[in-house]
Amino acid sequence: MQKQFKHKKQFGQNFLQDKAILNRIIAVSDISKEDSVLEIGPGEGALTELLLENAKKVTCIEVDRDLEKILLEKYSENSSFRLIMKDVLQLDFKEEINEKVKVVANIPYYITSPIIQKLIVNREFVEDIYIMIQKEVAERITAKSSKKRSVLTLSVEYFGEAELLFYIPKEAFFPSPKVDSAFIKISIDKKNKYEKLVNEKTFFKYVKASFANKRKNIVNNLCSLGFEKNSLKVLLEKNDISPNKRAEAFSIDEFIELIQILERTSN
Ligand code: SAM
Ligand 1: residue of 23, 58, 62 to mutate (most ligand atoms within 8 A of CB) is 62
- Is residue 208 within 8 A of residue 219, CB to CB? The reply is no
Distance CA(188)–CA(119), nearest Å, equals 10
pLDDT at position 185 is 98
Of all protein residues, the one whose alpha carbon is nearest to atom 1 of ligand 1 is: 42
Query: Which residue's C-alpha comes closest to atom 11 of ligand 1?
Result: 41
The answer, yes or no, to whether any atom of ligand 1 lies below 6 A from the CB of 89, is: yes
The ipTM is 0.99
Residue 16, annotated ligand binder?
A: yes
Burial 218-255 (b: 16+ CB within 10 A, else e): bbbbbeeeebeeeebbebbeeeebebeebbbebebeeb
Query: Ligand 1 pocket: which of 15, 85, 96, 173 to mutate (most atoms <8 Å of CB)?
Result: 15
pLDDT at residue number 2? 53
Nearest of 4, 118, 136 to residue 70 by alpha carbon:
4
The residue whose CA is least distant from atom 19 of ligand 1 is 11
Q: Return the pLDDT at 267.
A: 66
CA dist list (Å): 141 to 100, 146, 244: 24, 11, 24
| E strands in the chain | 15-16, 36-40, 57-62, 81-85, 101-106, 126-134, 160-168, 173-174, 181-188
pLDDT 10s digit of each residue in the chain, 267 long?
A: 456 789 999 999 999 999 999 999 999 999 999 999 999 999 999 999 999 999 999 999 999 999 999 999 999 999 999 999 999 999 999 999 999 999 999 999 999 999 999 999 999 999 999 999 999 999 999 998 778 999 999 999 999 999 999 999 999 999 999 999 999 999 998 888 999 999 999 999 999 999 999 899 999 999 999 999 999 999 999 999 999 999 999 999 999 999 999 999 876
Whether residue 47 has its Cβ less than 6 Å from ligand 1? yes
Cβ atoms of 235 and 229 closer than 8 Å: no
Residue minimizing CA distance to atom 23 of ligand 1: 87
pLDDT at 190: 85
Distance 192 CA to ligand 1 centre (A): 31
The whole-angstrom separation of Cα 179 and Cα 137 is 11
Annotated binding-site residue? 262: no
In this prediction, residue 191 carries a pLDDT of: 86
Nearest ligand 1 atom, CA 173: 5
CB of 171 within 8 A of CB of 20?
Answer: no
Residue type, 102: K
Any ligand 1 atom below 6 A from CB of 13:
yes
**Closest ligand 1 atom to the C-alpha of 48?**
1
**Cβ(249)–Cβ(241) under 8 Å?**
no
- Report whether residue 45 contacts ligand 1, using a CB cutoff of 6 Å: no
Q: What is the pLDDT of residue 260?
A: 97
**What pLDDT score was predicted for residue 4?**
79
Rounded (5°) CA angle 250-255-259 = 145
pTM for this one?
0.93
